[in-house]
Structure 1
Amino acid sequence: MNQSLYPEFGVLLVDDEASFLRSLSITLARSGGITHVHRCDDSREVMGILQNRAIGLILLDLTMPHISGQELLAMITEQHPDIAVIIISGLNQVESAVQCLQQGAFDYFVKTTEEGRLIEGIKRAIRMQEMRRENQALGQRILNNSLESPEVFDPIISRSNQMRSVFQYLESVAPSNQPLLICGESGTGKELLAKAAHQLSNRTGPLVSVNVAGLDDNVFADTLFGHQRGAFTGAERNRAGLIEEAADGTLFLDEIGDLSMASQVKLLRLLQEGEYYPLGSDRPKRIRARIIVATHQELQQRQAEGSFRRDLYYRLCTHQIQIPPLRQRKEDLPLLLDHFLAQAAAELDKPVPAYPPELPLLLNNYHFPGNIRELRALVFDAVSRHRSHLLSMEVFRQVIGKNEEDGGESLSQASDSLASFNPEGPLPTLAQMDSLLVEEALRRADNNQSLAARLLGISQPALSKRLKKSRPDN
């Protein structure tokens, strides 16, 4: 089984003692999950390795024959300033450590340093390098307004600039081993983005998804961590958890905002320690999957309410995506409408129906509380009832009208804020406001008087009267 290397870039170990290099390699893999390691026991070969290998971090000894560690440090920081260097020396000298840090070393450890502290320092350097590389990649994509793998996003129907920015960010952070938090209202396509992130990561393992909403603590632990035979009544054989199933791949936890406090503690420990215990086992296993989580809830508000741990939130939001709701990306409506019409027609074995020109205008002035999922359901319902040559708008009118009656936002609501007036200027008169509202409704309805009247909440004859009154020459 091919195991994904971590981190994405290479970690070069430089020491003239081959036995120390072997020991350190084993420690990094066992305690830190750091497997993308190169070893060098001759300091004269280091600069050549840096020319030919994608190295992002060097663990460097100071006392070596031929070229000393301090000389190498100066050469590396001059010729490869993008590579982080950690000194791991047998010398416990403050003066030596200060000199190295002044020369540009990221950190300094003594070889007798306790293992946990050393691993944390190395992980910290790896995270710093990952973030630096992600920022560079994101900046380059935004500068060029480009996507390296646009085909990955084909299942996400969009031409919105907001969504393109999301795609560019996702391409930058997809190779990272850090958690990814995807936020967005229900129906915005969070699972599709999780699939895209997994594809872009080029991980050799599978994408394993689970909705954690409503799972109690025991079920959550058993689902994720698995169990040993005899761990509880009915556990007749060993069972691997989803973490093990997702090894070298991605584990996607949906609706993370609904996780119980007890389960949140378990997830936090998993992210902090990088290891877990199957139920009934006293032997830890290392996690070899990247964690992606999603929620439709405001996690900061849940923190304020005391129902979501702050420390878990900060572990999860190293990389964070906010998917805009459909009402903020109305330019996607025509694409989505055509896509769902074709999809529905194919599934129902019908020809793709044409639709009246008023339909996109009607949809454009609706706020879509259920987002893309709601639009898809409306289209499928309309196509299933379709009998004539032109798609009926009745299904759409019924749902939109019902939502308004139930207290939803009105069709004419274009933003979450009220109209504002210049506090230093005079208020418009009611007659002026009447005229402004009529003109705005006609603009949004593309001069369709029937739809404009609906936006204003009046009958079409009433609108015609107002127009005759305000446009006597027409």
Structure 2
Amino acid sequence: MSNHLYPHFGILLVDDEEPFLRSMSIALERSGGFTHIYRCQDSRKAMDIIASEPIGLVLLDLTMPHITGEQLLQQIVADYPDVGVIILSGLNQLETAMNCIRLGAYDYYVKTTDDDRLIEGIRRAVRMQEMRTENQALRQRFLNDTLEQPEAFADIITQDKSMRSVFQYLESIAPSNQPVLISGESGVGKEQIAHAIHKLSRRSGPVVCVNVAGLDDAVFADTLFGHRRGAFTGADKARAGMIEQAAEGTLFLDEIGDLSPSSQVKLLRLLQEGEYYPLGSDRPKRIRARVVVATHHNLEQKQQSGEFRKDLYYRLRIHQVEIPPLRKRKADLGILLEYFLSEAAQEMGKSKPTIPKELPVLLENYDFPGNIRELRALAYDAMSQHRSHILSMSVFRRILDIETPPPDPNENLCPVHFNDQVSLPTLQEMGDLLIDEAMRRAQGNQSLASRLIGISQPALSKRLKKKGL
């Protein structure tokens, strides 16, 4: 039995017929995966339940003794406008349905409606309520500029404002059961973000990580869904898939942009239906884990080009977070370097060296295509070669000495714009402007500035002397 209630708000069933309440509860749990359910057989007690319990959605019968469903609908809309109401009626009357919608009901269904259609309608209503509560929570966090669970991000070293905004967004979507798409370049720490989402969700199960890049369709299905004994040659015993191992926890699928078209279909069905079939089994199992996926690809471009299913893309991006690359988080360079050097020193049994004051300036002028992973590798490499009290700059200087490839003549480079109303600067003036900018970026370090503009340090020094600097 799941001990993780879904959704995070309660669904209240109000009907005077106990058999219908019981059968509807079973259908919601088995077909919809909804476990946070309240039942009310006496319409006079419904408002008390809404007042005392965290109700977010009400499934309301129209024809009841004491207080009719229409009267109760008006009370709920007036007193609890944030609570959604779906009408379930035994009568298929268009005028009644339209009147309920005008009074504020989210939707109207006849009790004889196909169960799949009804469950899908309830899923839509739940998603709408989740989005409403998430938006309210996010607005409040931004207004107050607060984090309610900073301990969930303790393993992420940052002081960047954009990362703080990411943390606030993650807190607002934590109660949701919908998938989360984490995008960002390789090396920015997407798996750490997945672990933070798991901590924020307070799920009792584990985090199970699967890198799906390169998995063919059969291996993908067996890895995720598992198999029964005898499902294929060599399957001499049953094996639980990653979905089952992640029960009540989080299933993290990395490199989702590399998934094959056939495997994309399998994942889409899992997310849409909330159930899957182990290989060789004809009995479905419900997924009881939250799905978090990550990619370094631009999925929007991939779905536009036909490489990624459009329906799966929109299913995954219900909650989406973009992790900024390290080159856009310059404020993090210093604290990350300190952290990695301390970590490396401890592992290698060395004392942590003093960082040269010009090193942070050097790092700020490098783009870090490998992001945090590359900075960590540089710190460990420098630490392994460290011999004196002050950290050697040789490893770090090497990254600026790598020859850059010549520009592609066919590439559309951004031109320099000049004011048509002003005369053009001379070559001498342009050279002076370039030197001034290089010195600004290098914070006055001539050696670094000369590297940035591709001239020798003596040549730069000579130009500066001519400028009277």
TM-score with structure 1 setting the length: 0.95
| Structure 1: tracts of 5 or more residues without a match | 410-415
Superposition deviation, residue 2 in structure 1: 4.8
Aligned to 1:446: 443
Superposition deviation, residue 378 in structure 1: 0.1
**Alignment partners' CA distance in 1, 2:439 and 2:407:** 22
* 1:459-470 paired onto structure 2 within 5 Å: 459-470=456-467
**Alignment partners' CA distance in 1, 2:437 and 2:58:** 63
* 1:245-394 paired onto structure 2 within 5 Å: 245-394=245-394
Please tell me the residue identity of whatever aligns with 1:206: P
Question: Any idea what the Cα deviations from partners look like across 1:80-120, whole Å, max 9, x if unmatched?
Answer: 00000000011221111111100000000111111011101
Question: Any idea what the Cα deviations from partners look like across 1:363-413, whole Å, max 9, x if unmatched?
Answer: 0000000000000000000001100111000011123322x445699xxxx
* 1:116-135 paired onto structure 2 within 5 Å: 116-135=116-135
1:330 is paired with a residue of what secondary structure? coil
Aligned to 1:100: 100
**Is the CA contact (8 Å cut-off) linking 1:341 and 1:383 kept in structure 2?**
yes
* 1:369-448 paired onto structure 2 within 5 Å: 369-402=369-402, 404-405=403-404, 419-448=416-445
Aligned to 1:412: none
**Is the CA contact (8 Å cut-off) linking 1:195 and 1:207 kept in structure 2?**
yes
Aligned to 2:219: 219
Superposition deviation, residue 65 in structure 1: 1.0
Q: 1:268 to 1:330 in 2, by over 3 A?
A: same
**Alignment partners' CA distance in 2, 1:223 and 1:59:** 38
Which runs of at least 4 in structure 1 moved beyond 6 Å after TM superposition?
none
**Alignment partners' CA distance in 1, 2:407 and 2:437:** 21
Superposition deviation, residue 424 in structure 1: 4.8
In the alignment, structure 1 residue 204 sits paired with structure 2 residue 201: no
Work out the percentage of aligned pairs sharing the same amino acid: 66
**Alignment partners' CA distance in 2, 1:423 and 1:158:** 44
1:85 is paired with a residue of what secondary structure? strand
**Is the CA contact (8 Å cut-off) linking 2:12 and 2:39 kept in structure 1?**
yes
**Alignment partners' CA distance in 2, 1:35 and 1:261:** 32
**Alignment partners' CA distance in 1, 2:423 and 2:162:** 37
Q: 1:49 to 1:396 in 2, by over 3 A?
A: same
| Structure 2: tracts of 5 or more residues without a match | none
Question: Any idea what the Cα deviations from partners look like across 1:245-291, whole Å, max 9, x if unmatched?
Answer: 11111100000011111111111111111111110011111111111
1:291 is paired with a residue of what secondary structure? strand
**Alignment partners' CA distance in 2, 1:52 and 1:433:** 72
2:449 is paired with a residue of what secondary structure? helix
**Is the CA contact (8 Å cut-off) linking 2:400 and 2:451 kept in structure 1?**
no
Aligned to 1:22: 22
Question: Any idea what the Cα deviations from partners look like across 1:410-435, whole Å, max 9, x if unmatched?
Answer: xxxxxx96654445544332222111
TM-score with structure 2 setting the length: 0.96
Q: 1:424 to 1:196 in 2, by over 3 A?
A: farther
> How many aligned positions are there?
465
Aligned to 2:192: 192
**Alignment partners' CA distance in 2, 1:13 and 1:230:** 43
Question: Any idea what the Cα deviations from partners look like across 1:196-249, whole Å, max 9, x if unmatched?
Answer: 001101111111100000000000000000001100000011111001111111
**Alignment partners' CA distance in 2, 1:172 and 1:275:** 26
Aligned to 1:171: 171
**Alignment partners' CA distance in 1, 2:50 and 2:340:** 51
**Is the CA contact (8 Å cut-off) linking 1:2 and 1:204 kept in structure 2?**
no
In the alignment, structure 1 residue 66 sits paired with structure 2 residue 53: no
**Alignment partners' CA distance in 2, 1:214 and 1:381:** 30
Superposition deviation, residue 170 in structure 1: 0.9
Please tell me the residue identity of whatever aligns with 2:445: N
1:223 is paired with a residue of what secondary structure? helix
**Alignment partners' CA distance in 2, 1:3 and 1:281:** 26
**Is the CA contact (8 Å cut-off) linking 1:247 and 1:289 kept in structure 2?**
yes
**Is the CA contact (8 Å cut-off) linking 1:442 and 1:449 kept in structure 2?**
yes
Q: 1:144 to 1:217 in 2, by over 3 A?
A: same
Superposition deviation, residue 305 in structure 1: 3.3
1:360 is paired with a residue of what secondary structure? helix
**Is the CA contact (8 Å cut-off) linking 2:2 and 2:288 kept in structure 1?**
no
1:308 is paired with a residue of what secondary structure? coil
Question: Any idea what the Cα deviations from partners look like across 1:42-65, whole Å, max 9, x if unmatched?
Answer: 111111111110000000011111
**Alignment partners' CA distance in 2, 1:178 and 1:141:** 21
**Alignment partners' CA distance in 2, 1:242 and 1:150:** 29
Superposition deviation, residue 9 in structure 1: 0.3
**Alignment partners' CA distance in 2, 1:173 and 1:420:** 44
**Alignment partners' CA distance in 1, 2:160 and 2:418:** 30
**Alignment partners' CA distance in 1, 2:263 and 2:365:** 42
**Alignment partners' CA distance in 2, 1:47 and 1:32:** 25
In the alignment, structure 1 residue 51 sits paired with structure 2 residue 46: no
Please tell me the residue identity of whatever aligns with 1:292: V
Please tell me the residue identity of whatever aligns with 1:451: L
Aligned to 1:413: none
**Alignment partners' CA distance in 2, 1:380 and 1:92:** 71
**Alignment partners' CA distance in 2, 1:270 and 1:2:** 18
**Alignment partners' CA distance in 1, 2:421 and 2:274:** 59
**Alignment partners' CA distance in 2, 1:27 and 1:408:** 62
In the alignment, structure 1 residue 136 sits paired with structure 2 residue 136: yes
